[in-house]
Amino acid sequence: MKRVAAILAVVILAVLAYAAFRPVKSPKEEILKGAKLQPYNIMYITSESFNLHHLGCYGYTKLTSPTIDQLAKEGVRFTQMINASAWTNESLISLFTSLESGIHGVITRSRNIDPAWYTPLEILHDLGYKIPRLQGFQGDQNHSFLGFDDIEYISKFEWFDRYHGRVPQPFFFWWHFLPTHLPYDAPDTYLNMFFREDMVKTPGSRERIARVRKDSVIYRSSVTFNPAEDGEAINALYCAEVRRFDDFVKLCLDTLKREGLDKNTIVIVSCDHGEEILEHGHVGHSSTSGAGDLYDELIHIPFIMWCPSLLPQGKVIDAQMRTIDVMPTLFEILGIPVPSYFRGKSMLGLLLGHEPAEDRLAFSQTSKYGFGEPDPFNVKDYVYCVRTPQWKFISNVSNREPVREELYRIDSDTTEQHDVIDTFPREANDFRAKLTERVLEYTRVHPPAIDVPVAVTPLEKVKDFFGIPLSTYDFRGVPRPAWINPKDGVDWKYALTQGKIRLEWEGKPDCPYVIEYELGTGDYHLKSLVKVKGNVLDFGSFTENYWNTYLVVRNPFKLRVSPDKEPRDWSDWTTFRFAP
């Protein structure tokens, strides 16, 4: 018996010794070691709420997009690029992760991708790419764990100006242009190109158009537009914003040329999602209308790639593609093996003419309110769709009413005005089965064990060997938070802050916290939770226009903070306002 015990002890000690001193390699290394980087930078330019049918290269007759049109002539234009969602962050997270939103879970505000995912931007970062954050928008809480460089927010052209003549390479630079979002309030320079006051025909129309020019949220329930009366004026207001974006694209290209970077930079011009301009009687998209839809004006988006030294010029790709295919395509161009957990498929063979132009089945989804969901952790209404170049199947799902389905022949009914679900029951059944299968599949997809802590010390290696988590936060000694900034009742003035906002509370810099917020009134009212690490959270810098258009309208703001543990240990509430 003693002999058996001694042998068993030796075996246990041997196993523990192996576990403690074995070499441990980061799973990331397996992905990174196969990369043979090609010398290209990426400049990704997106416009907010961008309606494809207002661009000349997509058939529009007014002069809204001379720069983009020329870029399309010199590059590759996709005519059937389908977006993952109908509001900003849900679709952008899909774009930058190559994951459908049913997998990444960022379906409204106050949500993040699971940090266990080893994202495309994180891979690029670990391969040496510079991925700077820009002012304002990229500080959005939904963008945590995507892989942007953890550096001070900078204004759009400051990075190139700062490193004039010696810009760090390679880089992945994402610029998001916001003014095409409601309200449509372009400066007179652009407004006078398209809009005339005599386009407004009646007093009722004047009231409705005034809302389009001043409100960033216009719920469908709050106004009934009259396309016959309002259409000419609203389209003109929107055209002015599109032309404004076109000039921004020109500035981007001029900056590349100034720095001598136009020969080795892949430029992509696209958007976060489309925008309804009265096609179905309203203006906006999920986050601004509170009535999420997935009609083509919202998910059929412009997409142009330009790099004359690499890509064919003047090529038009009519096959249906998806935005989840973009990052795999860039990886293949850059010489990086495409991880198997990416959900999209590279389009490089199609771009270079090495593969046939085959349509790819597209799935999209949105919640009714997008960013503005009343209860972001208890979303009740979803819209799903399956799209081919010929068909669009839409399923409206709610836990409060029966499922409502629609079917459109989009090859002939391009504006989706005639629901034919009763006429084509076999096709509807086929799409219903495909959608059900895909939604169920999402529940079975989880992050691979890649972006995980790597055991270093012998004790960590033992814990890792036996599947014990390497670290959990010890909340003992973490004090109840007290606000340092903002003080209760403060009015934040743009001139004093220069658009930079810092939330700070008494606490520990390595501790996980949760912030509860409530802000705005009426259609602008929002409340939820935000999780952060550390006792400081910076926002901005915001432009003065953004401050006045999107922050002031959400007054008043109310916050409290607790260590991210149960039970909560909440601070007192602090209330503040943004002064116009």
The three-class DSSP label of residue 474 is coil
Residues 521, 434 share a domain: no
Q: What span, in angstroms and rounded, lies between the C-alpha atoms of 112 and 101?
A: 11
For residue 431, the enclosing domain spans 41-184+247-442
69 pLDDT higher than 90 = yes
The whole-number pLDDT of residue 159 equals 81
pLDDT of 205 higher than 80: yes
**Phi and psi of 263, rounded to 5°?**
-85, -25
- What distance in Å separates the CA atoms of residue 537 and residue 562, rounded to the nearest whole number? 14
For residue 134, what pLDDT is reported?
A: 65
- Tell me: do 271 and 136 sit in the same domain: yes
Residue 56 φ/ψ, nearest 5 degrees: -60, -40
Residue pair 175/157 in contact by the 8 Å Cβ criterion: no
Instruction: Please report whether residue 251 resides in a domain.
Output: yes
- Per-residue pLDDT, 142: 77
**pLDDT at residue 399 greater than cutoff 90:** no
- Residue 231 placed within a domain: no
Residues 254, 347 within the same domain: yes
Beta-bridged to residue 47, according to DSSP, are 177, 271
Does 345 share its domain with 418? yes
Average pLDDT over residues 35-56: 95
pLDDT tens sequence across 490-516: 888 888 888 888 899 998 888 889 898
The reply to whether omega before 66 is within 30° of 0 (cis) is: no
Please tell me whether residues 391 and 502 are part of one structural domain: no
Instruction: Decide: helix, strand or coil at residue 20.
Output: helix
Across all residues in the chain, what is the average pLDDT?
Answer: 89
User: What's the gap between Cα 253 and its chain centre?
Assistant: 23
Whose structure tokens read 């790419």? Answer: 129
As a three-state string, the secondary structure of 408-451 is: EECCCCCCCCCCCCCCCHHHHHHHHHHHHHHHHHHCCCCCCCCC
CA–CA gap between residue 358 and residue 350 (Å, rounded): 9
Pair of tokens at residue 254: 């001029």
| Distance from the Cα of residue 501 to its chain's centroid | 22
Segment 246-266, tens digit of pLDDT: 999 999 999 999 999 999 999
Tokens 């997809």 -> residue: 445
**Range in 57-71, 149-163, 528-542 the model is least confident about:** 149-163
Q: Is residue 170 part of a domain?
A: yes
Q: Give the integer Cα–Cα distance in Å for 118 and 98.
A: 11
Are 433 and 512 in a shared domain? no
Prior bond of 367 cis (ω within 30°): no
Q: Is 494 in the same domain as 435?
A: no
- Kindly give the residue spans of alpha helices, DSSP state H, lying in 443-528: 458-465, 494-497
Residue 507: give its domain's CATH number.
2.60.40
Strand partners, 382: 367, 397
Among candidate residues 442, 467, 502, the one where a domain is terminated: 442
Contact 552, 565 (CB under 8 A): no
In a domain, 17, yes or no: no
Q: In this structure, are residues 365 and 358 in contact, taking their beta carbons and an 8 Å threshold? A: no
Average pLDDT rounded to a whole number, residues 256-284: 96
Residue 4 has phi, psi (to 5 degrees) of -65, -45
**What's the confidence (pLDDT) of residue 28?**
74
pLDDT over 70 percentage in the chain: 88
- DSSP string for 115-133: TTS--HHHHHHHTT-B---
- pLDDT for 17 equals 63
Lowest average pLDDT, out of 24-28, 292-296, 544-548, goes to 24-28
CA separation for the pair 243, 189 (Å, rounded):
10
Question: What does the pLDDT read at residue 26?
Answer: 63
pLDDT in tens, 463-493: 666 666 656 777 888 889 999 988 999 888 8
Same domain, 433 and 504: no
Q: Does the pTM exceed 0.75?
A: yes
What integer pLDDT is reported at residue 137 of this predicted model?
A: 54
**54-58, 120-124, 311-315, 377-381 — which is least confidently predicted?**
377-381
pLDDT above 60: residue 151: no
SS3 content of the chain, % helix, strand, coil (to 5): 35, 20, 45
410, 515: one domain: no
Q: Which two tokens stand for residue 66?
A: 């001379």
Q: Comparing 110 with 54, which gets the higher pLDDT?
A: 54
Q: Name which of 49, 31, 82 is nearest 324 in CA terms.
A: 82
Q: Tell me if 377 sits within 8 A of 110, measured CB to CB.
A: yes
pLDDT score recorded for residue 573: 95
128 and 253 belong to one structural domain = yes
Instruction: Write out pLDDT tens, residues 223-247.
Output: 999 999 999 999 999 999 999 999 9
pLDDT at 436: 95
Domain end (from 420, 442, 464): 442
Which phi and psi angles does 81 have, rounded to 5°? -90, 125
Q: Is 30 helix (H, G, I), strand (E, B) or coil?
A: helix
Q: What is the pLDDT of residues 411-441, one digit of tens each?
A: 999 999 999 999 999 999 999 999 999 999 9
Q: Do 521 and 384 belong to one domain?
A: no
Q: Hunting for tokens 């001070």 — which residue is that?
A: 152
CA end-to-end span of the chain: 83
Q: Does pLDDT of 19 surpass 80?
A: no
Q: Considering 409, 442, 475, which residue would you say is the last residue of a domain?
A: 442
Quote the pLDDT of residue 537.
83
Structure tokens at 460: 């960590």
**Is residue 100 in some structural domain?**
yes
Residue 497's pLDDT is 80
- Residue 493 inside a domain? The answer is yes
User: Does position 526 have pLDDT exceeding 70, yes or no?
Assistant: yes
What is the per-residue pLDDT across 297-316, written as a single tens digit (0 to 9) for each? 999 999 999 999 999 999 99
Residue 87 has pLDDT above 80, yes or no: yes
Count of domains observed in the chain: 2
Which phi and psi (to 5°) does residue 322 adopt?
Answer: -125, 150
List the structure tokens of 6.
Answer: 């001694």
What does the pLDDT look like over 170-189, one tens digit per residue?
999 998 888 899 999 999 99
- CATH number for the domain including 412? 3.40.720.10
Residue 30 pLDDT level (bands cut at 50, 70, 90): confident
Q: Give the Cβ contact number of residue 248 at 10 Å.
A: 18
Sequence-ordered alpha helix ranges (H) in 277-419: 286-289, 296-299, 326-334, 348-351
* 297 domain-assigned: yes
Q: Is the pLDDT of residue 163 over 70?
A: yes
Domain assignment present for 23: no
Q: Are residues 386 and 523 in the same domain?
A: no
* Token reading at 183: 């309200």
Among 105-114, 156-165, 264-273, 454-463, the minimum mean pLDDT is found in: 454-463
Check whether the bond before 479 is cis (ω within 30° of 0).
no
